[in-house]
Amino acid sequence: MSADGPRRFKTATAGRALLALAVTALFLFPVYWLFVMSIKTPEEVFATPPVWWPAEISLENFAVLFRDGDVRAIWNSAIVAGVSTVIAMFLGTIAAYSIARYRTGGDHLAIWIISQRMIPPIAIVFPIFLAFALIGLNDTYLGLIALYTAFNLPYVIWMMRGYVEDVPLELEESALVDGLDRWQTLLKVVFPMMRTGLFATSVFTFIFAWNEFIFALILTRTEVITFPVQVSHYFGPQQIFWAKIGAMSVLGTLPVFFTVAMAQKLLVRGISMGAVKG
Amino acid sequence: MARLAVQGLRKSYGKVEALKGVDLDIAEGEFCVFVGPSGCGKSTLLRSIAGLEEIDSGTIAIDGNVVNTLRPRDRNIAMVFQNYALYPYLSVFENIAFGLRARKVPDAEIRSRVANAAEMLGIEALLERMPRQLSGGQRQRVAIGRAVVRDALLFLFDEPLSNLDAQLRDGMRAEIKRLHQEIGKTTIYVTHDQIEAMTLADRIVLLRDGIIEQQGAPLDLFERPATRFVAGFLGSPQMNFVATHLDYVDGALTLIFDEGRRLPLDPARAAAFDKYRSRDVILGVRPEHIARANGGAPRKPADAPLNALIDLVQPTGTRTYAQFRLNETEITVELPSHTVERPGTTIELLFDMSRVILIDPQTQHVIPG
Amino acid sequence: MSAVAEAPIPPQPASPIAGFVDRNFRWLLVWPSILVLLLIGLFPVIYSLFVSFQKINRRVTDTSFQGFYNYERLVTDERFWDSVINTGIMTGIALPLELVLGLLLARLFLEPFPGRQILIALIVTPSVIAPFVAGAMWRLMFDNIFGPINEIIRWIVGGNFDLLWLINDNPLIVYSAILTTEVWQWTPFMFLILLAAWSNVDKSQLEAAEIDGASGWRVFRRIIFPAIRPVVFVALTIRGLDLVRLFDIVYALTRGGPGNMTETISIYAYIKGFERFDISMTAAFAFVVIVSLSILVMVVLRRVGVTQ
């Protein structure tokens, strides 16, 4: 028995590791399939039965996207998601500070703000489309940025509220006594104390905006098409351009992978909206 | 250096009144300690002076300038916080220099002033470190350094030693006192620890439920408490309180206890207590003012020993604390070591009747005399 | 600087502007956000309410008061109720499935093994991919010519197998395709939250239960689940509200088809508004959705307790 114990333990661990590996592979398989699609040659793309391993890596599908100017969608996504993230982070964080520190507006304001997050986009996008049409904001950076800013504000406020509460009040009071005014205290003491929170929240805010589909589908036409909408354009009525879908998806997903990899340790608190403190 | 004058200060949080009208004058260079149990309003009072709390009514004046509506930064005060409040992302040097930078003091002057402060506190070697690399005591020194480096009118300390272990606390306490003697700035210090209050203060302000219960020099408060609360708050172990009855026995005012035990009052003080004859009073006596009768102490004629069946003995090394029951109350007695060895023995005790106090049970005020 | 020590600066009042900022600081900080939210959040609601009592569509623009005409059309529209039922079915199946699979995955990854951190990082991938791209990915997976799923089934059954997953008139098949995609994308999200909560469960309680000889299932039901319940509730709330407005994946996979078999509330509203241009009815639609969801959200938020 006693000699058997450690070995059984090891076998169990190895078994779990193998099972975990298999499950992970299963979850990643569709990602692999789309990725492989993006590096197949035209012959391989249309081969039946499908080719599981491409014979060689072809970057032709990506080259086509650059040639046709379709990559502009990535650029558009970057501008819209980037700018709206910066604005939402700034406005949301100062509001979160006020709500967390001074209980501004009490529970009512907090509930109202978070409930804004939960309104389905489809229910508000229609009036906004008409309003934007009236003031010429459809298919402009400004329109989409404004919308994404508003759309992400509740999330930013909700998340940053938790991070503000983690900053010891004494640090602020000490700064106030030492000669800073409230605004300087916020910028020079509270913001640096929340560096990780600001970083994690911006990562998720950025991803939400980057991945967003309904608003972009309805409020853009040609000028500021974002990458998911560009992908949707490859589903033609007669034909589906799988190679382009693959290549465009890879281009649009890589930045997300990159940012998430940077925010690895902060992932849980970010996606659970603070329900589990990471 | 500055004078501080507080008048009619009131502050409430919703329905809870934290300060119910506080009047206070602190002289230039004075070391004033606010002390009291938690929730007594001492921290609120300090924070109101700092400008961290908005007050409801009353005035706070520094050197005659009313500062009620001024922001903390405009009051020119320095404050040391309980949890040190060091900025974790700044070096020790930058932490100390923080207030100077905020006030746009020239670089060269910052360097010399920080160096001075660091030398005064013995932390020159730590200036390049980050706060997380410091021990609790070192952090506290940095926090104090950040206050002394500033040319402030008032120094405020908010329970600065409560997070340190007992040994470190004794050392830092002495150092704070020395620092005050060197710099001589008006200082307000908040603590819940009566020993800190006694040892540090020029003047103790004892607060209770949002009002000042009594203020004065430490020994004044200790020896002449105005109320039962003050008498019980200062001193360790605590003063004993026994409900008893006062009446004439054989022509002398005497405290009458159970089992026929009696204590005649000091004839020199008796006249003052005459109007309480035939009434219930509370006797207050400190453990160190009771001694063993047959311990060889010279007997004055007025001394009447009291029989005590010892039921608990706690030796501490230097002294031994023993307890006995009197009128259903456990009384603690401080005796020299080896005076009593084990519980169950009955001994005779002498009360120093010149130092006991009598308290009116209705008002809880100490009866003067 | 003179060598003589100067007197400290006496208290000095701030400038009027600085004083104003200081006194109203907390409101100055929240107002920008409130304004933005009012503009984007409240305006559409009021607008929808307004237009829903008019009669504006592709052919007529009648801004006179029409009473509850559009609401009547909505509640008597079978396709509307179909979309509500479809959304309910998808939510009702996907939500428990994601929870159970998430729990099983969390159990698998709970104890350390070599490579655990890397696998956790990899398995979360689906949840950070754009939902529309996830839909596109699985449309390729299910494709009867280019997709590997039919190919795999062919290997297993060893014959000719050519199933049209996404345009099949058998709802069971279409739904399993959509639900596979949905569950694939969001189970990792569930998993990550549950794993974090599970790891935080007090170890001493588990050890005590182990000493008492409690079985694994009993320990889970009596100790672990009660401990992680608040987090489970939050996770279900987030996912539930996402599922109720399900759009991207369905749009990529079937666009609600075949017919309106997989049409969700969001898809139908999209069709009404942007393909039919039935403005007034879409407005009534939007208003009903906002109001009913707001009530749901309020109830849920009160239960979660916002201040926690």
How high is the ipTM of this complex? 0.90
Q: Does A121 lie in the same domain as A21?
A: no
Query: Does the pLDDT at position B62 exceed 90?
Result: yes
The reply to whether omega before A49 is within 30° of 0 (cis) is: yes
Interface contact C4, partner B, CB < 8 A: no
What's residue A232's pLDDT?
94
CB-closest option in A21, A33, A227 to C148:
A33
Domain-ending residue, one of A23, A41, A63: A63
Identify whether C251 is part of a domain.
Answer: yes
Cross-chain Cβ contact B109/C1 below 8 Å? yes
Contact predicate B1/B28, CB 8 Å: yes
CB-closest option in B83, B99, B156 to A178:
B99
- Rounded CA-CA distance C266/B216 in Å is 75
Identify whether A77 is part of a domain.
Answer: yes
CB-closest option in A171, A176, A193 to B73:
A176
Report which of B293, B289, B336 is spatially closest to residue B313, judged by C-alpha positions. Answer: B336
Q: Does A143 lie in the same domain as A59?
A: no
- Rounded CA-CA distance B348/B94 in Å is 64
Cross-chain Cβ contact A173/B85 below 8 Å? yes
Q: Which chains sit next to C, with 3 or more Cβ pairs under 8 A?
A: A, B
Identify whether A278 is part of a domain.
Answer: no
- Rounded CA-CA distance B160/B142 in Å is 12
- Rounded CA-CA distance A274/C46 in Å is 32
Q: Does A138 lie in the same domain as A54?
A: no
Cross-chain Cβ contact B76/C9 below 8 Å? yes
- Rounded CA-CA distance A268/C195 in Å is 9
Q: Does C26 lie in the same domain as C121?
A: no
Total count of residues recorded for chain C? 308
pLDDT digits over B94-109, tens only?
Answer: 999 999 999 899 999 9
Nearest CA in chain B to A175: B99
What's residue B19's pLDDT?
93
Cross-chain Cβ contact B146/A178 below 8 Å? yes
Q: Which chains sit next to B, with 3 or more Cβ pairs under 8 A?
A: A, C
CB-closest option in A175, A176, A177 to B78:
A177
Q: Tell me which chain C residues have a C-beta less than 8 angstroms from the C-beta of B184.
A: none
Contact predicate B149/B105, CB 8 Å: no
Q: Does A241 lie in the same domain as A109?
A: yes
Where do runs of H (alpha helix) occur along B9-165?
42-50, 92-102, 107-121, 136-148
Identify whether C139 is part of a domain.
Answer: yes
Mean pLDDT score, B289-299 = 71
Q: Does A243 lie in the same domain as A208?
A: yes
What's residue A122's pLDDT?
86
Q: How far is B239 from chain A (nearest CA, A)?
A: 36
What's residue B299's pLDDT?
56
Q: E strands of B63-210, at which residues?
A: 65-66, 77-80, 154-158, 186-191, 203-208
Identify whether A277 is part of a domain.
Answer: no
Number of domains in chain A: 2
CATH of the domain at A104: 1.10.3720.10
Q: Does A146 lie in the same domain as A41?
A: no
Identify whether C10 is part of a domain.
Answer: no
Query: Does the pLDDT at position C147 exceed 90?
Result: no
- Token look-up 């439920």 returns B209
CA R_g for chain C:
27
Domain B4-225, second-level architecture = 3-Layer(aba) Sandwich (3.40)
- For C273, the token pair is 């508004």
- Amino acid at residue number C170: N
Identify whether C64 is part of a domain.
Answer: no
Q: Tell me which chain C residues have a C-beta less than 8 angstroms from the C-beta of A13.
A: 111, 113
Mean pLDDT estimate for chain B: 90
- Rounded CA-CA distance A225/A121 in Å is 18
CA of residue C276 relative to chain centroid, distance: 26
pLDDT digits over C20-50, tens only?
Answer: 888 889 999 999 999 999 888 788 888 888 8
Q: Which chains sit next to A, with 3 or more Cβ pairs under 8 A?
A: B, C
Nearest CA in chain C to A122: C266
Q: Tell me which chain A residues have a C-beta less than 8 angstroms from the C-beta of B85.
A: 168, 170-171, 173-174
Q: Does C174 lie in the same domain as C236?
A: yes
Q: Does A19 lie in the same domain as A138?
A: no
Mean pLDDT score, B169-175 = 89
Calculate ∠ Cα A81-A85-A88, nearest 5°: 135
Cross-chain Cβ contact C8/B153 below 8 Å? yes
Q: Does C129 lie in the same domain as C46?
A: no
- Rounded CA-CA distance B281/B360 in Å is 6
- Rounded CA-CA distance C192/C197 in Å is 9
B240-359 to CATH, choices 2.40.50.140, 3.30.465.10, 3.40.350.10, 1.10.3720.10 = 2.40.50.140
What's residue A278's pLDDT?
55
Cross-chain Cβ contact A181/B73 below 8 Å? yes
Interface contact C6, partner B, CB < 8 A: yes
pLDDT digits over B248-264, tens only?
Answer: 888 888 998 888 888 88
What's residue A6's pLDDT?
62
Contact predicate B260/B247, CB 8 Å: no
Query: Which residues of chain A register pLDDT less than 70?
Result: 1-9, 277-278
What's residue C2's pLDDT?
35
Interface contact A98, partner C, CB < 8 A: yes
Mean pLDDT estimate for chain C: 86
Mean pLDDT score, C182-200 = 92
Identify whether A23 is part of a domain.
Answer: yes
Best of B74, B84, B98, B142 to disrupt the A interface (most A CBs within 10 Å) is: B98
Q: Which of A268-277, B11-20, B122-131, B185-194 has the lowest mean pLDDT?
A: A268-277
pLDDT band at C97 (very low <50, low <70, confident <90, very high): very high
Nearest CA in chain A to B47: A173
pLDDT band at C291 (very low <50, low <70, confident <90, very high): confident
Identify whether C11 is part of a domain.
Answer: no
What are the sequence ranges of the domains in chain B?
Answer: 4-225, 240-359
Whether the model clears a pTM of 0.90, i.e. scores above it, the answer is: no
Q: Does C122 lie in the same domain as C28?
A: no
What's residue C210's pLDDT?
78
Query: Does the pLDDT at position B52 exceed 90?
Result: yes
Query: Does the pLDDT at position B76 exceed 80?
Result: yes
Structural domain span for residue A54: 4-63
What's residue A169's pLDDT?
93
Q: How far is A152 from chain B (nearest CA, A)?
A: 29
What's residue A7's pLDDT?
66
Nearest CA in chain B to C11: B75
What's residue C213's pLDDT?
78
Size of interface A-C (CB pairs under 8 A): 295
Structural domain span for residue C46: 16-51
Domain-ending residue, one of A47, A63, A79: A63
Q: Does C183 lie in the same domain as C35?
A: no
Best of B71, B80, B154 to disrupt the A interface (most A CBs within 10 Å) is: B71
